[in-house]
C-alpha cells in the first residue's frame, strides 16, 4: 500500500515519535549523565522540537524521492531513512547539547553518539510499526466491493 500521507498525518506521526522519545530519554539521560532531570528534560525537549521539525520536512522529502524514483519501501530504505534522519540531527544537536550542559563538543558528541545508538533502532521500529498500524487502519476503512 502506498497512499501518500498528508502533512497533518506526518505531523501526528512526528509528534508521537518525539513524545515517546522524551518519555524514554529524559529519565535515562538524567541518570546516565548524573544531571538534574530538569536540565536533561530541557535538552530533550529542545532536541525533540528540532527533531520534530526535521522529521516532518525530512519524511516528506524522503517519500517524494521514493515516489519519484519508484523505490520500494523495504528494509534497506528504512535503514537509509534512519541513518540520514539521525545524521541531520547530529550536525545541529551536538553544539546545542554542549552549550546547554556546559560540556565540551567532544563530550556532547559522545553523548549524542550514545543517544544515536538508541535512536537508530527506535527510528526504524517506530516508523515500521506506524506504517503497519496505519495500513491496517486505512484498509479497515476501505469497504470491499460486493457484486449483487
Q: Express each pLDDT in 114-125 by its tens digit.
A: 887 888 899 899
Number of structural domains found in the chain: 1
For the cut 80, the answer to whether the pLDDT of residue 2 exceeds it is no
Cα angle 27, 41, 44 (rounded to 5 degrees) comes to 100
Domain with 113, as residue range(s), is 7-139
Tell me what pLDDT residue 145 has: 61
Average pLDDT of the segment spanning 82-101 = 86
Query: Quick check: 90 pLDDT over 80?
Result: yes
Mind listing the pLDDT tens digit for each residue in 21-34?
Answer: 999 899 998 998 89
CA 70 – CA 65 distance, rounded (Å): 8
Burial class (CB within 10 angstroms; exposed 0-12, middle 13-18, buried 19+) of 25: buried
Considering the domain boundaries, does residue 112 fall inside one?
A: yes
Asked, for residue 31, whether it belongs to a domain, the answer is: yes
Residue 125 in domain: yes
pLDDT of residue 6: 86
Cα distances from 10 to residues 13, 16, 55, 58, in angstroms, run 5, 10, 8, 10
Is residue 146 one of the residues assigned to a domain? no
Q: Record the cell numbers describing residue 148, joined without a space.
A: 449483487
Q: 41 in a domain, yes or no?
A: yes
Q: What digits encode the pLDDT tens for the residues 104-113?
A: 999 999 988 8
Residue pair 52/93 in contact by the 8 Å Cβ criterion: no
Amino acid at each position: 500500500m502506498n497512499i501518500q500521507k498528508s502533512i497533518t498525518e506526518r505531523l501526528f506521526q512526528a509528534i508521537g515519535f518525539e513524545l515517546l522519545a522524551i518519555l524514554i530519554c529524559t529519565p535515562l539521560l538524567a541518570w546516565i549523565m548524573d544531571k538534574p532531570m530538569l536540565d536533561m528534560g530541557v535538552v530533550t525537549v529542545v532536541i525533540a522540537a528540532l527533531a520534530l521539525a526535521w522529521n516532518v520536512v525530512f519524511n516528506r522529502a524522503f517519500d517524494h524521492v521514493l515516489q519519484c524514483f519508484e523505490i520500494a519501501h523495504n528494509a534497506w530504505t528504512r535503514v537509509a531513512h534512519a541513518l540520514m534522519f539521525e545524521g541531520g540531527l547530529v550536525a545541529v544537536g551536538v553544539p546545542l547539547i554542549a552549550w546547554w550542559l556546559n560540556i565540551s563538543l567532544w563530550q556532547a558528541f559522545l553523548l549524542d553518539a550514545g543517544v544515536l545508538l538508541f535512536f537508530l533502532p527506535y527510528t526504524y521500529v517506530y516508523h515500521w510499526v506506524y506504517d503497519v498500524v496505519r495500513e491496517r487502519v486505512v484498509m479497515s476503512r476501505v469497504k470491499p466491493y460486493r457484486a449483487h
